[in-house]
């Protein structure tokens, strides 16, 4: 009798692996079938009971508190430090709009930021705030040193950048950066869109002031799962901007992240996010390690293809980005899509290529098929 290895069994929880080589969890990840079933049945039950019945919606709100506590344990912080939103972008806006910035404030960011950060920073720049940009490069200690040098050039109010580049998967030591910034009197906000589900988070230990994050990429939570970590020491630096009913239930206490939450939300999605933590704990091995191994395999395989340049450092997670000599990343992306390999284009002045997001539910066969498809595209140039 054919026995399936453990990860092959896990793969069956992800129907998206049947149709194509899905390598774009870094944009939006699939929800594992057991979590999805629970989520769907809770939405049906919610609807069937009349969502507006106070016992029903208050029940959901109390389950959200359980989910918040689960996430806090997983991310190394206290539940009160977490506010829940619909996505990372919400959380970034809460910080950047709510921060009491002096008119001579200076923010330092990088050249590989997502529109979720570039948009709010552009608004601040239009209001006269100085925004300076340094290269993200390959992350690591060099990036921390570049940011330290930028802070030494002029007084800096805030560092605002991705913890992991969405373009290459490069990362750096968050704790080391927090130390450099705080020594110079600067606050730090790291956009954590790409980190939960790719590497362990230790939010309190890192000492970062603000850490927006989401669950709907690498963690595999339903779309609409976003959050913000506010370090207890920095919580009162962010004023409430949008507010309304429910937010007051925390009494506006700066040490309670719920002060930013108001109005009706898709509470079952946040509850499912808590379920994801239990699902990941039930996996046959460490999902972070599995996707790092697969990404390293893909990176090694692509490095040997003539005409292909690997643009990512050694994987810290599942992201591998390549460019093909003489071919625009958009063309490569389109041709791969036509061949059934789903990546994402990378379009930066310094980086024109395709990003692959290898998740733990991918496998060696996906890696081989992606390599073969890239080799075919490169050979046809
Ligand atoms: C680095 C980074 N920041 C922000 C976002 C936006 O995430 P969300 O849709 O959760 O706001 C993304 C999404 O790709 C991202 O990669």
DSSP string, 244-284: -TTGGGGTT-TT-GGGG--S---HHHHHHHHHHHHHHHTSS
Give the model's confidence band at 1: pLDDT under 50 very low, under 70 low, under 90 confident, else very high: low
Q: Is the CB of 256 under 6 A from ligand 1?
A: no
Q: What is the residue with the minimal CA distance to atom 14 of ligand 1?
A: 27
Residue 53 Cα to ligand 1 middle (Å): 34
Q: Is the CB of 66 under 6 A from ligand 1?
A: no
Q: How far apart are CA 347 and CA 176, in angstroms?
A: 29
Pocket test for ligand 1, best of 172, 193, 213, 344 (most atoms within 8 A of CB): 193
| HSE of 241, CA atoms in CB hemisphere, 13 A | 13
Residue 250: predicted pLDDT: 64
Mean pLDDT of 274-280: 98
22 Cβ contact list (under 8 Å, min separation 6)? 16, 30, 342, 362, 366
Residue 2 Cα to ligand 1 middle (Å): 41
pLDDT per residue over 69-116, tens digit each?
999 999 999 999 999 999 999 999 999 999 999 999 999 999 999 999
Give the model's confidence band at 365: pLDDT under 50 very low, under 70 low, under 90 confident, else very high: very high
Mean pLDDT of 236-257: 80
Backbone conformation region of residue 231, classed left if phi is above 0, alpha if psi is from -120 to 50, else beta: beta
Residue 247: predicted pLDDT: 67
C-alpha dist (Å) from residue 15 to 30, 47, 255, 362: 9, 26, 41, 11
pLDDT per residue over 62-71, tens digit each?
999 999 999 9
Ligand 1 atom showing the smallest separation from residue 87 Cα: 10
Give the model's confidence band at 4: pLDDT under 50 very low, under 70 low, under 90 confident, else very high: low
Q: Is the CB of 319 under 6 A from ligand 1?
A: no
Residue 108: predicted pLDDT: 99
Residue 203 Cα to ligand 1 middle (Å): 19
Give the model's confidence band at 5: pLDDT under 50 very low, under 70 low, under 90 confident, else very high: confident
Pocket test for ligand 1, best of 26, 27, 84, 88 (most atoms within 8 A of CB): 88
Q: Is the CB of 191 under 6 A from ligand 1?
A: yes
Residues 170, 138: contact at Cβ < 8 Å? yes
pLDDT per residue over 14-61, tens digit each?
999 998 999 999 999 999 999 999 999 999 999 999 989 988 888 998
Q: Is the CB of 114 under 6 A from ligand 1?
A: yes
Percent of the chain clearing pLDDT 90 (strictly above): 88
pLDDT per residue over 325-356, tens digit each?
999 999 999 999 999 999 999 999 999 999 99
Mean pLDDT of 5-16: 95
Pocket test for ligand 1, best of 26, 85, 89, 199 (most atoms within 8 A of CB): 89
Q: Is the CB of 194 under 6 A from ligand 1?
A: yes
Q: Is the CB of 87 under 6 A from ligand 1?
A: yes
pLDDT per residue over 138-189, tens digit each?
999 999 999 999 999 999 999 999 999 999 999 999 999 999 999 999 999 9
What residues are paired with 327 via a beta bridge?
324
* Structure-token pair, residue 143: 């990036």
- Count of all residues that appear for the chain in the document: 381
Predicted confidence (pLDDT) at residue 303 exceeds the cutoff of 90: yes
Q: How far apart are CA 200 and CA 194, in angstroms?
A: 12
Residue 197 Cα to ligand 1 middle (Å): 14
Alpha helices in the chain (DSSP H): 6-11, 16-19, 33-48, 54-75, 88-98, 115-126, 140-153, 174-183, 203-206, 267-281, 287-303, 329-338, 364-380
Residue 349: predicted pLDDT: 95
Q: Is the CB of 27 under 6 A from ligand 1?
A: yes
Q: What is the residue with the minimal CA distance to atom 15 of ligand 1?
A: 193
Mean pLDDT of 210-215: 98
| HSE of 159, CA atoms in CB hemisphere, 13 A | 33
Residue ranges of domains in the chain, CATH in brackets: 6-30+285-380 (3.90.1150.10), 42-280 (3.40.640.10)
Residue 56: predicted pLDDT: 87
Residue 132 Cα to ligand 1 middle (Å): 21
């Amino acid at each position: 009798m054919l026995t399936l290895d453990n990860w092959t069994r896990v793969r069956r929880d992800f129907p998206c692996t049947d149709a194509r080589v899905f390598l774009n969890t870094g944009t939006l990840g699939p929800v594992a079938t057991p979590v999805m079933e629970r989520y769907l049945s809770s939405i049906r039950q919610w609807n069937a009971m009349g969502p507006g019945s106070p016992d029903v919606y208050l029940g959901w709100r109390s389950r959200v508190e359980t989910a918040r506590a689960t996430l806090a344990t997983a991310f190394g912080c206290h539940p009160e430090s977490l506010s829940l939103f619909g996505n990372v972008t919400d959380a970034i806006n809460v910080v950047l709009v709510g921060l009491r910035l002096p008119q001579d404030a200076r923010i330092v960011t990088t050249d590989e930021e997502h529109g979720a950060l570039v948009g709010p920073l552009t608004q601040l720049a239009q209001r006269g705030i100085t925004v300076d940009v340094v290269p993200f490069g390959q992350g690591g200690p060099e990036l921390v040193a570049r940011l330290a040098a930028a802070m030494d050039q002029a007084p800096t109010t805030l560092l605002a950048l991705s913890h992991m580049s969405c373009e290459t998967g490069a990362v750096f030591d968050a704790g080391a950066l927090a130390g450099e910034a705080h020594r110079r009197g600067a606050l730090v906000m790291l956009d954590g869109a790409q980190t939960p589900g790719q590497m362990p988070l230790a939010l309190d230990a890192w000492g970062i002031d603000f850490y927006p994050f989401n669950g709907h990429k690498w963690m595999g939570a339903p779309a609409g799962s976003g959050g913000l970590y506010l370090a207890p020491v920095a919580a009162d630096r962010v004023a409430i901007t949008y507010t309304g009913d429910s937010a007051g239930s925390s009494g506006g206490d700066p040490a309670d992240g719920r002060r930013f939450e108001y109005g009706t939300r898709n509470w079952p999605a946040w509850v499912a996010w808590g379920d994801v933590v239990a699902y990941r704990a039930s996996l046959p091995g460490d999902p972070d390690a599995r996707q790092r191994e697969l990404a390293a395999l893909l990176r090694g395989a692509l490095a040997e293809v003539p005409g292909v340049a690997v643009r990512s450092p050694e994987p810290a997670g599942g992201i591998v980005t390549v460019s093909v000599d003489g071919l625009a990343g958009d063309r490569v992306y389109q041709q791969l899509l036509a061949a059934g390999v789903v990546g994402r284009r990378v379009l930066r002045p310094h980086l024109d290529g395709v990003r692959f997001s290898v998740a733990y539910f991918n496998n060696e066969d996906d890696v081989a098929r992606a390599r073969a498809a890239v080799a075919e595209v490169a050979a046809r140039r």
